[in-house]
A and B are shown apart, each in its own frame.
Chain A
Amino acid sequence: MSDDSHLLPYARRADFKVARANELTGKDRRFYRFLEIVPGVAAWATLIGIVWASIYASFFAAYFVIAFAIYWVLKTIFLSYHVRYNYKRLKHHMELDWGRLIERFKCEDYYHLVIFPYYQEPLEMLDDAMKGLAEAKYDPKKLIVVLAAEERAGKESVDQAYQIEQKYADQFGHFLVTVHPGDVVGEIAGKGSNVHHALHEVRSKIIDPEKIPYKNILTSIFDIDTVIYPDYFSCLMWHFMTAEQPFKSAFQPVPLFTNNLWEASAVSRVMAMSSTFWQMIMQERPDKAATFSSHSVSFQALYEIGYGQANVVSEDSRIYWNLMVANDGNFDVVSLSYPIAMDATAAPTLWGTIKNIYKQHRRWTYGVENWVYLVYHFTKNKNIPLKKRWSVALMQGEGYWSLVTNPIMLFILGWAPIFLGTREFHATVLSYELPIMVRNLLIVAMFGLVVSSIIALSLTPPRPEGYSRFRYVVMALQWIMVPITMIVFSAIPGLDAQTRLMFGRYMGFWVTPKRVQ
């Protein structure tokens, strides 16, 4: 029998790490299955409802479209304001000497556990990640580096970890290569299970033998394409030391997908920057955020929940919901407003890039499984304040619903009453004014794209040799693709993911190939 005395009381529940309805029984199973169906039904009902209303209630549909277009404009203003604000903060944070700022704290007692899970990524990418760590302006002896390989990726891939270990091990305080076994029952192959295994390994092989207090370890779980900026650990330490409740907080940097931005295609750049902007917005709304991609959290917090889940696709956000639910709602996201550099999705061909972006975003939007998880646990954990349970559930639900429906409603179904409306509707001023009004509102909303274009250009790394200055023009104009990319790479993959969940066709983890070989 495993010892779970270190776990928080709620984390000891058998269903704490539930991933799918079929892992439960009885009423709980039926309820969880119901929740899995809800997002897909809500999205499809909205889209079909608009078509239905356009045919049978054209006037209502037209009023709704107007309301929605206004909402979209205001939302654009709202989000652009947040992006602009965070951009200023990000630039400011990048200019600060964080090493000096943390001098007043007693940082020498703390360690940074840095875990890099990987699959079959090239050696060059692993090397870049280590180089970034080695060049950090932080005492390298305070870094515990774990390179987490996958057995199923093959010997050649695992060997790469040992090559890197040979090259970098002596530069850091500790270096560990872990190999996640291929077919562990109850896990799904992917980053989550690999990290889960690595955390177990590092505790038993380094942390416990070295007697390092768990509270003195800050764990950073980084995608393998993550290259940190020099002051990352100092910035993280400063925020950890000044956080209201450092052991009940996750620390979220801003992912800049700029490692290969110049090589990536325009569509890849737009999607990468859009993801960055979304994270910048969330940096200013930390009470509404969850962790995403690379992030950091106290080892103690992870230990108290048994290191999160090894059986989910969207493990980067799930770990936050695990922490939040287990801590009775008392767990924060602290925004660092400090960047980490990552790779934009790329492939040797444009079609390959498009396919990869689609699959990557389908995986991200499969994060809707987290909504199911948190609503399920909100009904179980009554220690979480009722207001918080409602607000988080509604806000997260609205996020997944709008992600899927809004672009389609705005750019396609907004015109439905005009084409599908009744004869009576077609004879009205409303029918003629509707497309003009929607068009004008969308033009106003395009202002948000101008803001995006300017900020994106300023976040773009310097032009490497061999690239024409004309590419800057392309980078500025590429944002006109947004209405299309929103539908193709947000709404449709989101609908795809929610539909799969609705029908119980659960997704597995798909590793995004990023760097062109």
Chain B
Amino acid sequence: MHMPQEPQIVGMSKQRRNFFFWTLVLVFVVLLPTMIFYTTGYRLTFDDDSETTMVTTTGGMYITTANLEVDVYLDEEQIEQPRLFRNAYYIQNIKAGQHRIVVQAPEVHTWVKELPVDSYIVIEAAAFNLPTTPRLRPITQYVNSDGAAVYQSAATTSEIFGTATATEPFVFATTSSVASFTVNPEYEFVETLFGTSTATTTSVFAQFLRDMDRFRFASPEDRIATTSTSTPEVIEQNDVELLSRELELYAVWRGQENNIPFYFCVTNSNATSTKARYGQHVADAVFATSTATSSPIFMIDDQTCRSEIKLDRLRQDVYLFDFFPGTSDLVLLHLENGLYVTEIDDRAWQNTQPLYLGDDFTTIIENDIIYIEENRNFFEIIPEIES
């Protein structure tokens, strides 16, 4: 075989290197503006009817969900995109305008919101979906050797578990003897809670109403002293306060203005557009009360923010209010006909979902656990669906 006098593969020529280099430079020059326009929200759209191509601007929605197994719909179309994070959907390529977002799943309440999307901007919302059938964990005085709750009589529980699901097994005692059972220390703890707590079915507005009555018959000298006793109950979490004032409940932002949650703020700040985008009640809250000293309005960037939002109590009396455990944007309300969870976010409307219905039970929240007592039976409400 003939042996070559020179290596057959020589080093890459400068010409070839330069060509490759400048080709990549060209690719860079083309890609950079394209990528920047894309990430800013510009999209190239193809109109089949007119066979034209045009550049449109888009915005997005960022929806967080407490439940992992939910379906998300935007304007009746299911979102197939993968989640950005485990519990969040980032929906791209939304044209500017009002859009309805629905988060739903079997066996949970549906969360619906209508939100305005602006070009280049992502609007955020936090969805929540409570189980349609309440989920209760029975807390009984005794448990059997398997750890199952023991009820002395089927009658006391049949009514409750007719409309709710037990998350843990329970049994009915066949005899009145409790020798074979173990005393449940949690029962004693919960019984003590309900025994010592002032949480009753008394209205949170009762004090205010009493003050009003006193005010009505008091002399002018007494008025100051009388009204000063009606200090509203205040609950605070993550710089959000819940308080009752007169006959309403409010969520009030007490933190730094720059850190205020998104739903306290609106964009395109004039009354008409705010009404169209977020609803009359939001426009009223922002513009009608903008001079009120109790609810100052302030600007952050191009957004107008109010510092308080009125909570929807379904026109019912309120026996208890607190933050829904583990959150600072959902509120637990014990109303006349049951326990509800409502969101502070009032853009478009406030989603309110029943957690447990009934008119003859009491509620206590202790260490982020919701306990209820009904007919001398104690339960923990489990708000999540196991996924």
Contacts and interface: CB of A to CB of B under 8 A. Distances in A.
Interface of A: 62-63, 66-67, 70-71, 74, 77-78, 81-82, 85-86, 88-89, 92-93, 96-97, 100-101, 104, 283-287, 335, 337, 422-424, 427-434, 436-437
B358 to A, nearest CB: 42
Given A92-B8, A104-B5, A287-B14, A428 B35 contact: no
The 8 A-B pairs of least Cβ separation, nearest first, read A433-B39, A429-B41, A424-B301, A284-B12, A92-B9, A74-B24, A89-B9, A70-B31
29 contacts: A63-B36, A70-B28, A71-B28, A74-B24, A74-B27, A74-B28, A77-B24, A88-B9, A89-B7, A89-B9, A101-B6, A104-B5, A285-B12, A287-B14, A335-B11, A422-B301, A423-B258, A423-B301, A424-B301, A428-B122, A429-B60, A429-B121, A430-B40, A432-B122, A433-B38, A433-B40, A436-B84, A436-B90, A437-B35
Interface of B: 3-12, 14, 17, 20-21, 24, 27-28, 31-32, 35-36, 38-41, 58-60, 62, 84, 90, 92, 120-124, 258, 262, 300-302
B332 to A, nearest CB: 29
A29 to B, nearest CB: 39
Given A428-B122, A430-B41, A337 B35 contact: no
Contacts of A101: 3-7
The dominant DSSP class at the B interface is: mixed
A427 B60 CA distance: 10
Nearest to B10: A89
Given A66-B32, A70-B31, A78-B24, A428 B9 contact: no
Contact of B11 (A67, A74, A283, A433): A283
A335 B120 CA distance: 52
A430 B92 CA distance: 11
Given A430-B40, A432-B84, A78 B35 contact: no
Given A78-B21, A92-B9, A430 B258 contact: no
A70 B38 CA distance: 14
A171 to B, nearest CB: 28
Contacts of B21: 78
Given A78-B20, A429-B58, A66 B39 contact: yes
Contacts of B60: 429, 432
B3 A437 contact: no
Residue picked from A97, A337, A423, most chain B C-beta under 10 Å: A423
A63 B36 CA distance: 7
Given A82-B12, A284-B11, A433 B92 contact: yes
Contacts of B24: 74, 77-78
Contact of A93 (B7, B28, B58): B7
B11 A434 contact: no
Nearest to A338: B7
Residue picked from A335, A424, A429, most chain B C-beta under 10 Å: A429
B30 to A, nearest CB: 10
Contacts of A85: 12
B59 A429 contact: yes
A424 B303 CA distance: 9
Contact of A92 (B7, B20, B92, B302): B7
A110 to B, nearest CB: 19
Contacts of A335: 11
Contacts of A433: 38-41, 92
A432 B17 CA distance: 37
Contacts of B62: 432
Contacts of A89: 7, 9-11
Nearest to A73: B31
Given A78-B20, A428-B121, 9 more contacts: A62-B39, A89-B10, A96-B7, A423-B258, A430-B39, A433-B41, A433-B92, A434-B39, A437-B35
Residue picked from B40, B62, B124, B300, most chain A C-beta under 10 Å: B40
A96 B302 CA distance: 71
Contacts of A67: 32
A86 B38 CA distance: 37
A101 B35 CA distance: 52
A248 B7 CA distance: 22
Nearest to B94: A429
B252 to A, nearest CB: 20
A433 B10 CA distance: 44
Nearest to B267: A427
Residue picked from B7, B40, B262, most chain A C-beta under 10 Å: B7
B92 A423 contact: no
Contact of A427 (B10, B11, B31, B122): B122
A425 to B, nearest CB: 10
A287 to B, nearest CB: 7
Contacts of B10: 89
Given A74-B27, A432-B84, A423 B39 contact: no
Contacts of A96: 4, 7
